[in-house]
A = this chain, B = another copy of it.
Amino acid sequence: MPVGTQAAVKTLAPEEVADTGAAMVLSNTYHLFLRPGHEVVRELGGLHSFMGWDRPILTDSGGYQVFSLADINEVRDDGVVFQSHIDGSRHLFTPERVMEVQAALGADVIMAFDECPPGQVERQAAEAAHERTLAWLARSRLRFQELRAQGLSRDQTLLPILQGSTFPDLRRDAARRVRELGEWHGVAIGGLSVGEPKPVMYEVLEALEPELPAAGPRYLMGVGYPDDLLEAICRGCDLFDCVAPTRNGRNGTAWIEGEGQINIKAARYKLDAGPLDESCDCYACGRYSRAYVRHLFVAGEVLGLRLLSVHNIRFLVRLAERARERIEAGDFERWSDDWLARYRAARAETKERMT
């Protein structure tokens, strides 16, 4: 899922996002709550109508942003009092409130409110966040059911988020207790890719995998980069979101098959008449030379940001499409190992060249 933080995937129109093959976008509850306000979005017909995107949308729980962007005034058992990063205004997010906000936004998939601690917290803090997330899940679910009964949430699916930081036993406990709480259409793994070393993330996913239901998507939140995507697919994950393709794109970074990642602003591309990525079928690669995209970046032209955003999203979508094909063909692991080895070798070479 490309990320449309504020009801827009940065620099792109919905048609351009759809053209990358992305089947679903994520938008941020925290941001939309603050601006333009969930009631504004509801009044304008909900997120799909508001932003002109007719495919599925997922809104996150706001938990991650509250804990990473806002000034926290107080974390209580009933919720979090925080200050807006925009204007300092004070707000309270409770599980119930977050359900109401997401019902107003009207995404297809909504997330239970969770406490997302930073990357490598101590056991005690991890345990507290894990327990609180489970308590908040029960309350989220209850309010969600009420909203449905009142006709205030239509055609929405609620997904639970598993916390537990880097502690395998907490992770497994989260999976089991979420399962005991009822039936779900999928499950999300939160609190990873938040600063912990990558091997630690992979270990957590491996420990968690046997406890996850076979049916329904497993959504690894906030991931990721191309290598993370394949490593996580390898460990049973299905759904992802990350700002990396668009944020990197706006910084001039493009993922290129066989070359790892390049910075298009480099002088070496000044006269490069070839496409960004010969193997890519995206709009940017089909229409423009590296030299032109470089020029756009050097000259500060917004079209450059758009072209790399489109390319990077398509790069990840294509990687996921190929992973699906290889899984169906039965040789995913061999293909994935090979792809990762080539990607990492190319990344290492690029880094060397740049130092």
Contact = CB atoms under 8 A, between A and B. Distances in A.
Interface stretch (A3-11, A213-221, A251-259): A3-11
A44 interface: yes
B299 A43 contact: no
B302 A302 contact: yes
Nearest to A298: B35
A347 B177 CA distance: 64
B305 A302 contact: yes
A6 to B, nearest CB: 4
User: Which secondary structure characterizes the binding site on chain A?
Assistant: loop
Interface string A1-19: 0000011101111000000
B303 A44 contact: no
Contacts of A270: 36, 40
Contacts of A303: 8, 11-13
Interface size class of A (residues with CB under 8 A): 35 or more
Interface string A57-88: 00000000000000000000000000000000
B40 A271 contact: yes
B273 A36 contact: no
Contacts of A52: 287-288, 292
B13 A291 contact: no
Contact of A292 (B35, B50, B298, B305): B50
A50 B296 contact: no
Contacts of A292: 7, 44, 50-52
Most B Cβ at <10 Å: residue of A36, A52, A296, A306? A36
A210 interface: no
Contact of A8 (B13, B36, B287, B296): B296
Contacts of A301: 6, 8, 10
A302 B35 contact: no
A301 B28 CA distance: 14
Given A51-B292, A52-B288, A273 B45 contact: yes
A45 B43 CA distance: 51
Given A11-B303, A35-B299, A50-B289, 19 more contacts: A6-B295, A7-B292, A8-B299, A8-B301, A13-B306, A31-B299, A35-B298, A36-B291, A36-B295, A36-B299, A40-B270, A40-B295, A43-B271, A45-B273, A50-B291, A51-B292, A52-B288, A52-B292, A302-B305
What 7 A-B pairs come out closest when comparing CB atoms? Answer: A11-B302, A6-B299, A36-B295, A8-B301, A8-B303, A52-B287, A44-B291
